Structure 1
Amino acid sequence: MKGFRLSVGKKIGLTMVPILLIMVIAVAIPAWRLFSNAFVDQAEEQAMAGAMGLLNSMEVAGKRAMDGALALSYRPDLVEAIDGGNRDEIVRMVSPILAELKLDFATVTDSKGVVLARTHSSDRLGDSVSDQSNVASALGGKASWALERGSEIPFSARAGAPIFSEGKVIGVVSAGIRMDDMAFVDEAKRLFKVDVTIFLGDKRFMTTIVKDGDRVIGTSLDPKIADILLKEERSFTGPASILGIPYVTAYEPIRDGDGQVVGISFAGRSVAALNGVRNHILAVTAGIGIAALLLAMMAVALVVKRILRPLGPMAGLARAMAQGDLTFRSDVSQSDEFGDLASDMDHMVDELNGLLSIIDRSVGDLTSSAAALSEYSGEAGAAMDEAKGLVEDTSRSADENSDSLGQINGGIEEVAASATSVASAATEGAEAATTMGATAEEAVAEVERVIEEIKTVTSASKEAMDTMKSLGRSVEDIAGFVATITAIADQTNLLALNAAIEAARAGEAGRGFAVVAEEVRKLAEESNQAAQQVGGLIEDLKEKSRESMEESHRSAESLESTSERASVAQSRLDRTLKAVGTVNQAMQNVAAGAEEQAASAQEMEHSVEKVSQGTRGVAERMERILSTVEETFRASDGVSKESERLAYDAKSLEEMLRRFKLRKGETGLVPSEKDS
């Protein structure tokens, strides 16, 4: 029972689908890992950039405060107001400038650091701020800025500038920007695309992280991380859990004017947000991959269909050859290896058609020769039978004339000479019959060899069919590897496109996509190797085509040998016909001798009683002649039977050849009795 049958195209398709799926999976998993690692690396870089950017924003605020403080310290009217101790005038002069420079507050002190005026707490005066680093530096005659913690304003960027009068420091103006406004961290989040937090000590002072609708200010930092920042005064970068939510984080210490760590700058990205972006990109990538897979499958189907298109006509040609029909042609005009193979098969059928036509004509000639030989053998048998009757009559006449030999010595001598001639002719007839029998046997042997050669042609045809099947399997391997090269090329283009898009989008952060570029290079190398394997398979296909041609040549040589042996058989049958002619001539000589004996008998009819003794001798000779004639007759009968067997074998060979249907004008078939 045959198994479930699938066409070659379906087999290739069913083979390519899992291969393409495996390739997509093999590319998707590393891509997923690469994207995950790249996103983590990018998130760490963004977090570090956010933490440093937050510090830079504080530095920018301090420098802006420095510009405001210096601008105020150079006002002569401020010097006069300080000398006069006019607090209201000081506030009136400072406030418009603060608004113009977008500063939040200012404090003016005397030469000892005692507060003369404040714009943010005008009723609180007379306290000393000389412990602030920016004020202390200004009292020493040097302007500076620093991030300061204060009693009225918890945290701010402040700058102090000395106020000179006649070369002496008569006071200090300290201007600053508040760091307790949530707009500051919100602006940093907008700029750096990360969540940011400012810690004072280990407590969250300002943050963009929200839980249950509220900012999580006042909560404590992880003690392990706090020790790294506050005690060891080192930076920290890596994953961390913030209120039970995983983040990719970066922490930088915030130092005051004295270099002491007073707070922490934090920036980080939620892992959940990263996973969402990564999953979105992977979903887009998977969609593109599935689309590419479908396109690749369609391309494979089209290529396989085009490659296997000639197999239908070629299979039809093979079936027609197996059924003996040599009029069928594949008519494939495709200009590739399959086209060449189909053309070679058509040429092979033409050659077989011509050779079988020649053999067919030779078989017809052989049949005619066998029929003629049988006819001549029948005629020879009839002649032998007639000679036998004549010899018997002569013997009876010799018995009747046994007493008359005395008067006819001369006639007896003539009768003896005639008997010798008859014996010689009979001997020649026997030899000719023997030659005829041997020649007939050789002809039969040659016909048997012709049949063996035809079997050899059949075997060669089967081997040619096996070679063509092997070529079909080689073509299947080529489709598989071509499909592999196509899939690898598609994936290579996809990775290159994604790498270019992501690198352009990421900017400086695009360094993480170097790994993707490396994968693109590896895929290109695999494409090159697959192309080399395709070249090897094409060479194998050509080799199989050459083997098929060699098998066809051997078939042609075998058929030529068969034709030559048939010619030899015809030649030997010609010699048999000549031997039959010799037998015929010998029988004629026997008849002539018998006529001469009859004439001598007429001369001796008056001396019957005198020749009795001589006649007895003649009778004995006639008996020997009769025996020889009977042997010749048996030999002739054997020749006739062998001729009939030869004719039967020739007819069988003709019937075998009639299984082949040849093209018109080349058949050469001798019509059978049924045909006529």
Structure 2
Amino acid sequence: MKLRNSLTFQLGTIIAGILVVMLGITSFATYITAYNKLYDAAGIEAYGCANITTGLIRPEDMERALSGEQAAKESIGKDLNWTTGHKDIFQTQYILTLDGTLLALDDHLAEKGFAPGDTFYMDQEAIQLLLEKKHPTYSEPYTYGGMERLSGYAPIFKDHDTSKEIIAISVIDFDATIVKERTWDVVQSGILISIFPMLIASIITGFLIRRKVKPITLLIHQAKQIANGNLAVEEMKVKRNDEVGDLASTLDRMTVNLQNMIMTMRTTSITLATNADETANTLNDMSNTIQGVAHNIYEVTATVTDGLHHAENATDVLTSLAEDLQTIKVKADTSVETSRGTMKIAAQGEQLAKDINNDMTLIRNGSDMVSNTVSNLVTSATRVQAITTSIAGIAEQTNLLALNASIEAARAGEHGKGFAVVAEEVRKLAEQSNQEVLKVDQLIQEIMGHIQQVTSSTQDNTKYIEKGTKTVRLTAQSLGNISAAVSHTVEEIIEISHALTLEAEKSDHVVQMIQQLTQSIQEIKETLNAITAAAQQTTASIDEVAYSSNETNQMAHTLEQHVKSFKLKEC
């Protein structure tokens, strides 16, 4: 623990703070008391001197000064210089009228820029008291004329007769800062002397507090060890009869009780966890076994149910089969007659297919001739296209020759004009021939496109004719096979008709046996359903007990983990 967080430091700081505050309050009170006393003494001194020095002023000079005579004011001012000249503690002396106007003043006040007739500050409360009591008084400290002043006021009576009215006020100013300085000089040594006993008292107090608090520190350390799970702490041997001793003995008893409780909880948690594990394992085995039995029963039930359904379906199927067998027998007899008619139709179809095959051969030969003709037409069109290309080249060459002839005719001037006209006509004919050749070439291209389409169609027709010929040939073969197969089928249908009669009788007997089997399976199914319901209820009960056992097991393990966090004494 840091020193500033310790109880010793905090209590010592509080007590030292209290001592400092007490010293401050005492010093402040001493200062205020001394200041007030010195203030009163300075005020009394000031108004005492002001009162005494009023005797220096002649009554006739005062009357003339009040009437406004300047010489009288100056004469009184010279008399006032005597006071400030003989007492350095007084700064200025002056005479004020009752309304606060300077009547006369000494040289010190004149040096500050004041003159007779100026208004000067007066403490109205002090002046009011002076006028009422007709007794000297002094003002509160104030700042005026660049100086902090304490003024002593003394009344000046008419003709110096106290029974007459007050006609003016004699004022002596005392430097108020001197009062503060003298006060501090008086209390300074006392304050400094008081600091040393305070420091000694603080040190002694801190030592005593540390001595008293040390057992508490040890108890706190032991309590922290217990809080961290260490119950193997040594017993505190604090031989005191105060609260600290009670706390130590109480902490020791609590430690012993916690040790016993944790040991009991540890043993209990281990036993409980073991029993819970065994119970949970047993219940799980029982649950698994019952679930396996229930699953097997469920599978058997499902199998029986399926068997029941199959048996019922088999009954229906066999019943329907018996009916179908009878129907089939009737239809088989009918099929014999139908098949004989089919044989005749198949023979006729076979003959027609052979005739169609011959016709398809003739069509294929005609298609081959068309294909050869189209091929020859393509060859001719290619030759025509080559001829038109040659004609286009000749026309272009003729056009160039006509252009050259026009140029030469132009060079010949008048002699070549007729030749130029002929050359121009030749050029136009060449261009017209070229355009016509291009049109012929375009027509040939279109013819070639149509020929290619005809060729493609002819090739497709050839494929279709070959495919049709093949199909007709296969059809003829199939019809022949059908005719043979129908003949064989007629014989087999006759045999099947006899066999169906026997199978219908057997089917009726099987239906009766399956109906009896279905009734037995239904009874087995009901019994298995009852067993399954009982197994499910048993499994649900075991699951509830297993869930509770698992919760107990988890709580036991949790308790065991918490108990393991405590450290106990080894026995």
Structures share fold, TM-score greater than 0.5? no
- TM-score w.r.t. length of structure 2: 0.32
Structure with larger Rg:
2
The structure whose residues are more often strand, as a share, is: 1
- TM-score w.r.t. length of structure 1: 0.27
The structure whose residues are more often helix, as a share, is: 2
